Structure 1
């Protein structure tokens, strides 16, 4: 197969090759990166997802708040959300903060972001010198943009929460690593960014009521993991982003019988199943459990299985999902 692809490549005029984008959508929906004239074959064997926090905002559920860690070749490369309690599980996972390329925020509710200052302070003691990329949603309503969120925490203004950590914020010569922050305005389109030669990220806006929110997809050599974040499913955007993804992490924050207000913020189990089926995801991982869903897992699974026939996994803190 590889030799055939290489042979075809040399038969193509260079001008035609320039028409291809850096990321190619394969027939199975995975993004295959084209680099230096080589097609990269899909490989998930060195990719793992670890759950740092399978819970939500409650403090009586026995779970850390929402956070996930993407491992590639035994290195923790990308963190998705940084909820309270996740830093302790980061330590238990034996991850190295120096290996992190980026932190991706789905939104800035406290149960998805409260531990960020813990990681930034810990980074000082890790000896990290390279910059840390932080991505998040734009401003909207009562919620700040990713840039304003970071500034409110770490700028050198007296009004910031942690001005003593401003060395990681100021854009000047420093022996410390800097936080490089960027808001993602997708406007219903899939936004893409290359973190490194082997890892790219993609995002799209989703509907979490009045809260600006993003769903994320992380791609490594054709292998992909997608994250719904908190959302109600009304926009139809997640299906586009998570199309044929290897794993979809879906937040199961409410039961099927939830009230009208809760359904404006979160997906019901039935909606989760419909989205997973429409996107043809290979595996589904349920997370962001709350007391109202911890005790209704069997019922939720039944609703999901009405439409989605693939494997469904129930997350727990420190669980590792392999491919």
Structure 2
């Protein structure tokens, strides 16, 4: 499994980073994990062949994780002229949220007769799924239920496990999410400012021993975290970073 971090930024593009967007390669499978509002720029810059993506999987419905989906769909319809089936997966309500986002960004587009088959798959903590050969398990995160359910995921393929927190404050659900994972990509919005809906580094460090991942990479860093340049035990994500499992 190979994960390319096309977007490692927060909602505001702090540090010139793209919104969250992960390109996952697992055998022949190509998946996007989140597709934030700036993701079409990131995909084009990285020269990702969009029609080769079979699945888009979302952690929650904030614009910096979900906002690129309408443009992705219209690009598939009118630019890349996709014919291959597309699976759109995510928390409960994924189909309703997709149609609502299409109407909000491009009125009338939700009724398009798509030239390619679209399948919606709800992924919940109670119902793990298999998406194109990748085993996907969801874990409830603590972020903003108005944009949720908010979830982290374990992706399993060929004996390897990649864990991604999405956006969250500290929650005990991070412990089973990370248990035995080869890599954890975890949000760390601030260094020394405690926030209700995001992780800060102090809290993460205090719970580090409870996180069972062999390798930890920090992402979704805001200004306060980016300003802290001293060495840390964990790696820090950047746009274009690749993670091989």
Decide whether the 8 Å contact of 1:167 with 1:178 is kept in 2.
Answer: no
Q: How does 1:1-323 map to 2 (within 5 A)?
A: 47-73=1-27, 77-124=30-77, 125-138=79-92, 145-154=93-102, 161-164=106-109, 166-167=111-112, 176-186=115-125, 189=126, 191-196=127-132, 198-211=133-146, 212=148, 213-234=150-171, 236-256=172-192, 258-259=193-194, 262=195, 264-273=196-205, 275-298=207-230, 301=232, 305=233, 312-323=234-245
In 2, Cα distance between equivalents of 1:285 and 1:228: 11
Say what the alpha-carbon RMSD is for the aligned residues.
2.4
Larger relative CO (CA 8 A, sep 6+): 1 or 2?
2
In 1, Cα distance between equivalents of 2:174 and 2:54: 24
Report how far residue 203 of structure 1 moved: 0.8
Structure 1 alignment gaps of length 5 or more: 1-46, 139-144, 169-173, 306-311
TM-score (norm 2): 0.88
Structure 2 alignment gaps of length 5 or more: none
Which is greater in Rg?
1
Decide whether the 8 Å contact of 1:209 with 1:265 is kept in 2.
Answer: yes
In 1, Cα distance between equivalents of 2:159 and 2:11: 33
SS of residue in 2 equivalent to 1:296: coil
Decide whether the 8 Å contact of 1:153 with 1:162 is kept in 2.
Answer: no
In 1, Cα distance between equivalents of 2:223 and 2:176: 30
TM-score (norm 1): 0.68
Decide whether the 8 Å contact of 1:154 with 1:166 is kept in 2.
Answer: no
Q: Residues 245-301 of structure 1, C-alpha deviation per residue, up to 9 Å, x if partnerless? A: 111010111222x14xx2x101121333455532321111111111121102437x3
Q: Residues 17-47 of structure 1, C-alpha deviation per residue, up to 9 Å, x if partnerless? A: xxxxxxxxxxxxxxxxxxxxxxxxxxxxxx2
Q: Residues 98-122 of structure 1, C-alpha deviation per residue, up to 9 Å, x if partnerless? A: 2222111111111111111121112
Q: Residues 198-228 of structure 1, C-alpha deviation per residue, up to 9 Å, x if partnerless? A: 3221111111144420001111111111110
SS of residue in 2 equivalent to 1:208: coil
Q: How many residues align?
A: 242
SS of residue in 2 equivalent to 1:271: helix
